[in-house]
Amino acid sequence: MSDKIKYSKGIHQAFTYLLENHEEFFVIGQGLWSPWYVGETMKDLDKKFGKSRVIDTPVSELAVTGATIGASITGFKPLVVHPRVDFMLLAIDQIVTQAAKWRHMFGNNSSAPATFRAIINRGGEQGAQHSQSLLSWFAHIPGLKVVMPYDGNDARDLLISSVLADDPVVFMDDRWLYDETFEDKGLKLIDLKNVKPKVVKEGTDITIVGIGFTVKKILDTEISIANLGVSSEIIDLRLLNPIDYSVIITSVKKTKRLMVVDGDWSSCGLASEIITSVMENIPPNELISSPRRLTLANAPAPTSKILEDEYYITSKKIIDIIKEIY
């Protein structure tokens, strides 16, 4: 029987590995000891490695992000935890105007290899100000790599590779995945430069691309998709910026149908970017049907549980679009 790994445990293993093997690494941010903020992803790390390397701070997103970027410029490999990506926007100048531009401004002679852990909290009637994901905001920025894992192995391996990368990385971390369990394939040290989308299920009739938590929603819907007589090829995007489209293009050339499921807003979003980039490489007459996207409505998240059920991605919504395609 193979070992299992929770997504949250994968994050914890990544931090443990980095703290044990890289003296230049430290983590800083708000509520690092608190399950309310970070679940069990950092449990007892401050007790094991000390509060000089696991640094809990007051609430000041701008200050801790600036300190993280400054440390990265001087040779450290720091990671700052933002327990809610919503309020990471208070540090947007530091991330976008400073860290992302640093290598460019200094003629490739210096970089700011900081990692920004952006935790997404959604549902639970938290409302509009506490339920954003903002994926395409950060994926839009040149000089800023953006990672979003789906399973526990990638949560561990991609977090390590993000910290060890030579450039700033936003690590998008979805709390809806924390309790999900996966087969543990063992730690793999990978170079972020070599990360591509991953085919997590092969199929012949339609290519469905998911991003983070939506990969789980697609896989949860797979039996219902198969009951329609449809063989789906499911792809986990993994790296949101830059995107290597070769895996997706190869798949769509085979299936001749494309659907993208993105748990963010549709306007100027990743779903439309993926569809456009694929269509720039495949003539429309080679497809059986037009590409489709499933996203959130262009509206702030509701607070009501009943409205949340209508707002977020569901298996029914995935099935309804597949029925329309066929």
The per-residue pLDDT for 299 is 93
Q: Which option is the CATH number for 198-325: 3.40.190.10, 3.90.110.10, 3.40.50.920, 3.30.1180.20? A: 3.40.50.920
Report which DSSP code applies to 89: G
Per residue in 191-216, pLDDT (tens digit) is: 999 999 999 999 999 999 999 999 99
Per residue in 141-169, pLDDT (tens digit) is: 999 999 999 999 999 999 999 999 999 99
- Percent of the chain's residues with pLDDT above 70: 99
pTM for the whole structure = 0.96
| CATH assignment, 4-194 | 3.40.50.970
The per-residue pLDDT for 227 is 95
Per residue in 84-121, pLDDT (tens digit) is: 999 999 999 999 999 999 999 999 999 999 999 999 99
The per-residue pLDDT for 19 is 98
From residue 100, give the alpha-carbon distance in Å to each of 74, 89, 140, 145, 148.
Answer: 16, 15, 11, 9, 18
The per-residue pLDDT for 76 is 98
Q: What gap in Å lies between CA 9 and CA 68, rounded to an integer?
A: 24
The per-residue pLDDT for 2 is 65
Angle of helix 270-279 versus helix 246-255 axis, rounded to 10? 70
Q: What gap in Å lies between CA 30 and CA 58, rounded to an integer?
A: 6
Give me the residue spans of the domains in the chain.
Answer: 4-194, 198-325
Reduce the DSSP state of residue 3 to 3 states and report it: coil
Cβ neighbours around 58 below 10 Å, total: 7
Over residues 281-303, mean pLDDT:
94
Q: Hey, what's the torsion of the CAs at 84, 85, 87, 88, to 10 degrees?
A: 130
DSSP secondary structure of 311-325: HS--HHHHHHHHHHH
The per-residue pLDDT for 36 is 86
Beta-ladder partners of 5: 182
Question: 31-40, 225-234, 260-269, 271-280: which range is least confident on average?
Answer: 31-40
Beta-ladder partners of 146: 170, 241
Residue with tokens 């990672």: 147
Over residues 44-65, mean pLDDT:
96
Whether the CB-CB separation of 295 and 264 falls below 8 Å is answered with yes
Q: What gap in Å lies between CA 261 and CA 217, rounded to an integer?
A: 9
Judged against a pLDDT cut of 70, whether residue 1 lies above it is answered with no
- Residue 126 pLDDT level (bands cut at 50, 70, 90): confident
Q: What gap in Å lies between CA 299 and CA 317, rounded to an integer?
A: 17
- Residue 326 pLDDT level (bands cut at 50, 70, 90): confident
Which residue from 33, 311, 38, 28 is spatially nearest to 173, judged by alpha carbons? 38
Q: What gap in Å lies between CA 178 and CA 38, rounded to an integer?
A: 9
The per-residue pLDDT for 127 is 86
Higher confidence at residue 1 or residue 93? 93
Over residues 36-47, mean pLDDT:
94
